[in-house]
Structures are given as C-alpha cells and as structure tokens.
Amino acid sequence: MMNHLSDKYKEKLVLRGDLYYADLSPVIGSEQGGLRPVLIVQNNTGNRHSPTVIVAAITSRTTKAKLPTHVPVTREESGLKCDSTILLEQVRTIDRCRLKEYIGQLSPGQMELADTALLTSFGLKKETAVRDRTPVTVRTAVPSRMYSMQSS
C-alpha cells in the first residue's frame, strides 16, 4: 500500500522542460490533437505529486503564423524528428497516462524563451530588478476584474 501520492508517480519521472509524445485526442475546434510532441510546463513539485501534468502542444508546422506565444525549436537542439514550433497558447492539463515516449529536454535558453511566451499567453508581466548587483526576477499579475460567485 502506498503512503504518498508521489510514490505512485516515481515510475515515470517527469520534469519541467521535458519533451514527450502525448495523445491529445479527443479535441474540439482548433485544439491541437492526436499523438504529438508536448513540452512539460508544470513545476517539478506538481510533477512529483500530481496525477496530471500541464503541457504545451508542439507542431511541426514552422510556417504557422508567428505569435509571441510561439517558440521555434530545431531538430538538433530538441531531439524532435523535425524543426518545430512550441505553441504556448495551446496549454492544457492532461492525465499522465496520455504521456507516451520521452523525446528529450529543452536547453535552459530555450526554456527561458518558453517561459517568456507563457507569461505572454497568461497575461503576466516580468519585471527585473537589480539588488546588490544580483538580478532578481519578480513576477506580478496584470490587474484584472474580480468576479464573485452568486448563489442561486
């Protein structure tokens, strides 16, 4: 008997920045689907303890409209079969059983580009401050409307 939820997921160690093939079907409308590469964008604490994982879809269409939420990756730097584009506006939570074959991992530089695209996708700002000559990154949310739930 397992005492911790995290024990169950040690068999498939998933790390932020990893690339996997995942089965994203079924889909609706313009969602990316089928068996395709994805980037793990969930933090490693969540990756250790959760039965789900947050991913961004990847397409092999490098001629797709260039959006600020797109990050190009080459075959050589990613381990993918061809040059591709990470679609960081196509982020979704999936069950771990949808993850199939491990492909590789993004470089720290590529992951930084993905992080910037994620901030754009979620409408967050990245502000950098310097303290004692050490760069410190502070992330703040953009002010938005507050919604209240009304009971029926």
Domains of the chain, by residue range, sit at 5-123
Q: What is the pLDDT of residue 28?
A: 75
pLDDT, tens only, 61-105: 887 778 999 999 999 989 999 999 999 999 999 999 999 999 999
Identify any residues that bridge with 95 across adjacent strands, giving them in sequence order.
Answer: 52
Q: How far, in Å, CA of 72 to CA of 83, rounded?
A: 8
Does 68 sit behind a cis peptide bond, omega within 30 degrees of 0 on the bond before it? no
Query: Which CATH number is correct for 5-123, 1.10.1060.10, 2.30.30.110, 3.30.1490.190, 2.60.260.20?
Result: 2.30.30.110
Amino acid letter, residue 139: R
Confidence of residue 135 (pLDDT cuts 50, 70, 90): low
Instruction: Compute the average pLDDT of residues 54-61.
Output: 94
Lowest mean pLDDT among 3-7, 32-36, 80-84: 3-7
CB 54 within 8 A of CB 102: no
